[in-house]
Chains A and B, each alone.
Chain A
Amino acid sequence: MRKQMILVLAGLLSLVLAACGGQAQQAPTTAPAQPATTAPEQPTAAPPASPAPTAAPAATSAPAGGTPAQPAAGGLIERILARGTLICGVNNNPLPGFSSVDAAGVRAGFDVDFCRAIAAALFDDPNKVEYRPLSAQERFTALQTGEIDVLIRNSTWTLGRDGNLGLDWAPTTFYDGQGMMVRKDSGINTLEDMNGATICVQTGTTTELNLADQFRARGLTFTPVVFPDGDATRAAYDAGQCDGFTTDKSGLVSSLTLLSNPADHKILEVTMSKEPLGPAVKQGDPQWFDAVRWIVFATFQAEEYGITSKNVDEFLKSDVPEIRRFLGIEGDLAKGIGLPNDFAVRIIRHVGNYAEIYDRNLGPNTPFNLPRGLNALYTNGGLLYSPPFR
């Protein structure tokens, strides 16, 4: 029954993908046929024609190079503001630390905090979010059809998804990579030791594809044992059905604590893939894309300046010009992306800077205790780097 379900979903998705892909391929073939002089009139050319009819005006009316003082009429930001809530797509099959619901019914997690940051920037109220729990199969369709405004569901940014699915990825909020867990007494220390091994992996994910690529590249064989969800995959590994268990390293760390005997297992050094996870929006509304992008950058920049939810009021009295610009006391930078001038202050006050978000959900005082690794500021050897706010 479950297998049949997934087959059908896969079939449906591939139909949708084929439809979108078809349109995307048509676009370049028609573009060269037109005279070059008409090209500048269509600055937002060739996003896969958006299926939702209501989104069509947004794509054509949003100016590409100008600096409008107000959100573009009919743009997504204006519609979100009129609606009064942000619709944020999150994970329905919770990933501890990224999105889960506590006993009182309140959502929390790393991904959820970025939903709250966007709502804080738009409404000055982080609670004006409507969460849409989405399965791995329906997440991109929901974004394409306009069911959700933004997808923050530990989704990996890849060329295929960015291009063929007609999505745009905001800056990566969490750099993950695929890892491999094995038993300590198995004698496995590298992937090369795993020739002929059986490996538990969740199906329908980039993880499954990466695994095959990595083993093929090394000329190794393996037997995949696939499961539709993460819990079943881990349970099968724990029960000894597989020699190895592979998923993103952050997931492996939390899975390790859930095994019967965590001390018997280890995570291999090797990182098999790049998994940059971040918010995604539908292509075709550059203003909304910019807004989401700079909201994420604002959390990076706030950490760089050392501005936290605790001390933000002191920084408001600062004389330093770049901090005054960042906090919207001087100039009107944020108008260009359709956000209020003090959006950074709103985010920091309600949700905090990147370090606060990270520590609250994944840091030393949580069961994960994940080291920052690549997810540190560039000044500390990580990859988080915000363009200047000026």
Chain B
Amino acid sequence: MATEVSRPTSRRAPRQQIGLIEWLRKNLFSTWYNAIITVILLYLIFQTVTSFVAWMVTAPGWPAAFTNIKLLLTWTYPVEQLWRPQAAMALVLLLLGLSSGLWGGIVRMVAFGAAAVSVLLGFVAFTFPDLPGQTSLPGWLFMFLCAGLLVGGDQAARWIGVKLRWPLIVAWLLSYPAVILILRGGLGLPIVETKLWGGLILTLILAISGIVLSFPLGVLLALGRRSSLPVIRIFCVLYIELIRGVPLVTVLFMGALLLPLFLPGGESIDALVRAIVAVTLFSAAYLAENVRGGLQSIPKGQIEAARALGLNVVQTTLLITLPQALRAVVPVLVGQFIALFKDTSLVVIIGLVDLLGAAQNIVGQPEWLGTPGGVWRETFLVIAAIYWVFSFTMSRISKRIEDQIARSRH
């Protein structure tokens, strides 16, 4: 926000500097009943927080989440192949680090946040157990390595400079197939069937695939709905309204169990692919409506002006209306992506085991029988924290993008 200082802005009245006590009196103890409410609320907050902390310290179930960290992260991914998720994650983080050095701004915020989390997790990871037959790096070493990759990538990219731009963009485009290749195998690597995938990996793959794939589809549907060609328009309207009228669970259920009935031949489609397709189709319909909202907010004069300049329909859409429309709906889109990320937990219903499914399984392990109260509270708190970290990151990114757009409008 350093730039904001140098820019002349409309000046507000000078703010009064008030001390802490003055502030307290003004905001919390201004009248006698406000004072009472404040005291009562403070007491309630204090009680809640202290009893929660006391419970956290004495809760017997924390080992459940930590000894089963492998299940939470990768589910039944073969132990001897665990280096592959590590390699995939390292690849993505290196790209993130390089991008941070090249573009700075929001990317750097994300990269350094991720580095800080990695270091933190590195210390936590000292408590993780070693697995029999583990060939991958120990958790703590890997997390420190991740932080190193992020910061190192950042420094390297600053040193190399703009030359890196196009190679990096190409690398990002190739990273998705590369990650899938590393995880699934092929080209000499032993195949790890997607049936063995699960936990956080599955959640992330579902969410990222859904977000990446539904975005172009949703934009096309939004444009199609505003098309003057009746066949395309009617198809898009039917598709959007049909999908929006059906809950995600139903779409997932259709994809997972009823699709095999309609398809000829015994060979069935991979369950993960079916889930990705279902999530994408579902998300695209909602995204289309959001984008359409953005398109409608563009004044008609803009399009007329573009036509007057001699731009054809495609050029008008790609250069004039779409960029402005997308910019207008960034907050809504990010909100939708966060919802999609959390909605992926519904795949439990079709037998895929995501982060939530893995947690549910941990709670049912026989070794936790005899733990008073069970271990579900602790385990679910851990995965709630994981969900929160990702959702919070997305919402902060959205906030920063909004700020940037707001500033560029001045």
Choose among A53, A95, A142 the residue that contacts B364 (Cβ–Cβ < 8 A): A95
B250 close to A12 (CB less than 8 A):
yes
Is the pair A105, B76 in contact by a Cβ cutoff of 8 Å?
A: yes
Which of chain B's residues has its CB closest to A109's CB? B366
Q: A100-B366, A105-B79 are in contact. Are A8 and B260 (CB under 8 A)?
A: no
A51 to B76, CA, bound (A): 31
Bound Cα distance A78, B371 (Å):
46
Scan residues 215-265 of chain B and give those whose CB is less than 8 A from a CB of chain A: 247, 249-250, 253, 256-258, 260-261, 264-265
B257 contacts which chain A residues (CB < 8 A)?
138, 141-142, 145, 147
CB distance from A111 to the nearest CB of B (A): 12
Asked if B349 contacts A231 (CB within 8 A), the reply is: no
- Residues of chain B contacted by A12 (CB below 8 angstroms): 250, 253
Given A51-B261, A138-B351, A101-B71 contact (CB < 8 Å): yes
B357 at the interface (CB under 8 A from A): yes
Cα of A261 to Cα of B371 in the assembled complex, Å:
10
Distance between Cα atoms of A137 and B346 in the complex (Å): 13
Looking at the complex, which one of B195, B370, B376 makes contact with A257 (CB distance below 8 Å)?
B370
Is B364 within 8 A of A104, CB to CB?
no
Hey, which chain A residues are within 8 Å of B247, CB to CB? 4-5, 8
> Which residues of A are found within 8 Å of B195, using beta-carbon distances?
130, 132
Most buried by B among A12, A95, A260: A12
With both chains docked as a complex, state the minimum distance between the C-beta of B167 and any C-beta of chain A, in angstroms: 37
Question: With a CB–CB cut-off of 8 A, which chain B residues contact A316?
Answer: none
- A254-B369, A258-B373 known; A104-B349 Cβ under 8 A: no
Q: Which residues, 80 to 94 on A, are CB-close (under 8 Å) to B? A: 92-94
Contact A100 B364 (CB under 8 A): yes
Mark contacts of A214-238 with chain B using CB atoms, 8 A cut-off: 1 yes-contact digit, 0 otherwise: 0000000000000001010011001
A145-B257, A231-B363 given; A105·B75 CB < 8 A: yes
Decide: B369 and A258 in contact? CB cutoff 8 A. Answer: yes
Contact of B351 among A52, A106, A135 (CB under 8 A): A135
**B357:A92 contact, CB within 8 angstroms:** yes
Rounded to whole angstroms, the CA-CA distance of A366 and B195 in the bound complex is 29
Q: Are A145 and B261 in contact (CB under 8 A)?
A: yes
Q: Which of B257-278 contact A (CB under 8 A)?
A: 257-258, 260-261, 264-266, 268
Highest count of chain B CB atoms <10 Å: which of A8, A105, A235:
A105
Q: Are B357 and A138 in contact (CB under 8 A)?
A: no
Question: For residue B68, which residue of chain A has the nearest CB?
Answer: A103
* B186 within 8 A of partner (CB): no
* A308, chain B: closest CB distance, angstroms: 22
The answer to whether the Cβ of B391 comes within 8 Å of any Cβ in the partner chain is no
CA distance A134 to B347 in the complex (A): 11
- CB of A82, distance to nearest CB on chain B (Å): 10
Residues of A137-170 whose CB lies within 8 A of B: 137-138, 141-142, 145-147
- Bitwise, A6-26 to B at CB < 8 A (1) or not (0) is 001100100000000000000
Beta-carbon contacts of B350-380 to A below 8 Å, as 1s and 0s? 1101000100110111111111111010000
Is B77's CB under 8 angstroms from A367's CB? no
Which chain B residues lie closer than 8 Å to A231 at the CB level? 360, 363-364, 374, 376
| Complexed CA–CA distance, A53 and B261 (Å) | 8
Which residues of chain A have C-beta atoms less than 8 A from B129's C-beta? 103
Q: Is B131 interfacial (CB 8 A cutoff)?
A: yes
- A97 near B351 with CB under 8 A, answer no
**A94:B374 contact, CB within 8 angstroms:** no
A93 and B256 CA atoms in complex are apart in Å by 18
Residues of B within 8 A of A94 (CB): 360-361, 363-365
Say whether B76 contacts A257, CB under 8 Å: no
Q: Is A240 an interface residue (CB 8 A)?
A: no
Specify which chain B residues have a CB less than 8 angstroms from the CB of A4 in the assembled complex.
247
Which residues of chain B are within 8 angstroms of A260 by Cβ–Cβ distance? Answer: 372-373
Contact with A along B91-115 (1 / 0, CB 8 A): 0000000000000000000000000
Complex CA gap A135/B360 in Å reads 12
Q: How far is the CB of B165 from chain A (nearest CB, A)?
A: 41
Question: Contacts of B346 on A, CB cut-off 8 Å?
Answer: 5
In the complex, the answer to whether B372 meets A93 with C-beta atoms within 8 Å is no
Determine whether A262 belongs to the interface, using a CB cutoff of 8 Å to chain B.
Answer: yes
Q: Which 3 A-B pairs have the closest CB atoms?
A: A94-B364, A367-B369, A105-B76
Question: Which chain B residues have a beta carbon within 8 Å of chain A's beta carbons?
Answer: 67-68, 70-71, 74-79, 129, 131-132, 193, 195, 247, 249-250, 253, 256-258, 260-261, 264-266, 268, 346, 348-351, 353, 357, 360-361, 363-374, 376
| Seed contacts A79-B266, A97-B366; 17 additional CB < 8 Å A-B pairs | A5-B346, A12-B250, A52-B261, A94-B361, A100-B366, A103-B71, A103-B129, A103-B365, A104-B70, A105-B70, A105-B76, A142-B257, A254-B369, A257-B370, A258-B373, A259-B373, A368-B366
Pairs across A and B, CB under 8 Å, 16 listed: A4-B247, A5-B247, A5-B346, A9-B249, A100-B366, A101-B365, A103-B67, A133-B351, A145-B260, A147-B257, A147-B260, A229-B360, A231-B360, A257-B370, A259-B372, A368-B369
Q: Using a CB–CB distance below 8 Å, which chain A residues touch chain B? A: 4-5, 8-9, 12, 51-54, 79, 92-97, 100-107, 130, 132-135, 137-138, 141-142, 145-147, 229, 231, 234-235, 238, 254, 257-262, 366-368
